[in-house]
Amino acid sequence: MSHPLIVIGAGLAGWTTVREFRKFDPDTPVTLITADSGDFYAKPTLSNAMAQQRGPAQLVTTPAARMAETLKVKLLAHTPVLAIDPAQRLVRTAQGDLNYRDLVLATGALAIRLPLAGDAADQVLAVNSLDDFAAFHTRLLAGRAPEAPKARVLIMGAGLIGCEFANDLAGTGHPVQLVDPAVAPIAALLPAQASAELQAALTGLGVQWHFGTTVTAIDQAAADEAVPGALRVTLANGQRLEADLVLSAIGLRANTALAQAAGLHCERGVVVDASLRTSQPHIYALGDNAQYAGQDWDDPAKAPVAGGRTLPYVMPIMNAAKALAATLAGTRTALVFPLMPVAIKTPALPIVVAPPAPGTAGGWHSVSAGIWQFRDAQEQVRGFVLSGAQTAQRMAQSKLVQL
């Protein structure tokens, strides 16, 4: 029996690659290794689950066992990968060593953790997986009767994920405070006017903002100054806030530990070429752990492959999985990303953003209420932002963008 295709990681990238591969090849053995249960769920639902009154169990769309059976996969759940040996085409796990025909790294990303002072610094939560959400959900509701005041949540980071959680929590009655060193929400992606509109919309839900500062310490609050169990949060500007739990949403970093230990070329992520190949033969990567360089390891003029960007969104994963599946099935396929607008899940003010490519010179222009275009020096449209009812213009604006 030939060695299997091995996929490490059971997130959207891992399972979608297997699903797409099975469309080309129903018979090659496939082994999927994951440190968690392997249950399939949509990661974007983690930040709007409260409004939908869905707990961790309700977010699972397909149990792991059914995924494995449907896709003819040998699933090794709750199995940490210890090391990769590219020379022997070997994966070392807690359950033994496995040889691979080809290996796919879909190890995702890790929540960035900032060093904080205080005796409760270790109580900061981050939600980057279903298990993380289960812990957050438990803490949010723990010991609270239905008629009791909702838990107060302080969110570190007013980026895309922080604002989505703020909308979800404030919309379900939780007092929410957001702390961010920037001057406005999602400032890295949105034009100033769009940020201001989002800030106003979330303020209308009761969200309180603390811009231009960061959290420096988290302590257990004294019984005489707060309700039992509350936290005292100290900001860099000296202000002190109270919360029942603190959620970190300051960003992700690619999980490259296995790849780096195996000698693969890594920068901000595992660097892959246009065919999603890493610097080692028979090893591929996609998803939140990959850095898409769009070059070719076989082109001496471009060696070593470097640069590119990480794309921690759903649409890049779906496009990458389709291209990689074709390559793994024997037809080497270069990945070409189409325009991939991102829908920001803030029902208080729905937003769709198609950011310009990194490094694109130009600026934002207001076209009409709720429509902004990013234009270069030649007045070519390179990106757009839509808000509110104008999100219905997504297709029309997409046709105007020059990639």
Calculate mean pLDDT across residues 367-391. 97
Say if residues 350 and 338 touch (Cβ distance below 8 Å): no
Reported confidence tier of residue 198, pLDDT bands at 50, 70, 90 = very high
Query: Which pLDDT score, from 0 to 100, does residue 172 have?
Result: 95
Query: Which pLDDT score, from 0 to 100, does residue 148 have?
Result: 78
Calculate mean pLDDT across residues 324-345. 95
Query: Which pLDDT score, from 0 to 100, does residue 2 have?
Result: 85
**CATH T-level assignment (fold) for domain 113-248:** FAD/NAD(P)-binding domain (3.50.50)
**CATH T-level assignment (fold) for domain 350-398:** Enolase-like; domain 1 (3.30.390)
Number of Cβ within 10 Å of residue 58's Cβ equals: 12
What interhelical angle do 64-71 and 12-24 show, nearest 10?
20
Query: Would you say the C-alpha torsion 18, 21, 25, 26 has a positive or negative sign?
Result: positive
5-110+253-328 and 113-248: identical CATH topology:
yes
| Each residue's pLDDT tens digit, 265-275 | 999 999 999 99
pLDDT at 85 over 80: yes
| Each residue's pLDDT tens digit, 303-333 | 667 778 899 889 999 999 999 999 999 999 9
Q: Which amino acid is at 375?
A: R
| Each residue's pLDDT tens digit, 208-242 | 999 999 999 999 987 655 555 689 999 999 999 99
Would you kindly state where each structural domain of the chain is located, as residue ranges?
5-110+253-328, 113-248, 350-398
Query: Which pLDDT score, from 0 to 100, does residue 303 have?
Result: 60
What is the secondary structure of 365-385 as a DSSP string? Answer: EEEETTEEEEE-TT--EEEEE
So what's the architecture of 5-110+253-328 in CATH?
3-Layer(bba) Sandwich (3.50)
Q: Which residue has the tokens 């060696």?
A: 303
Q: Phi then psi for 241, rounded to 5 degrees?
A: -125, 160
Rounded alpha-carbon distances, angstroms, from residue 290 to 15, 134, 316, 329, 372: 16, 26, 11, 20, 30
Does this model's pTM top 0.75? yes
Query: Which pLDDT score, from 0 to 100, does residue 378 have?
Result: 94
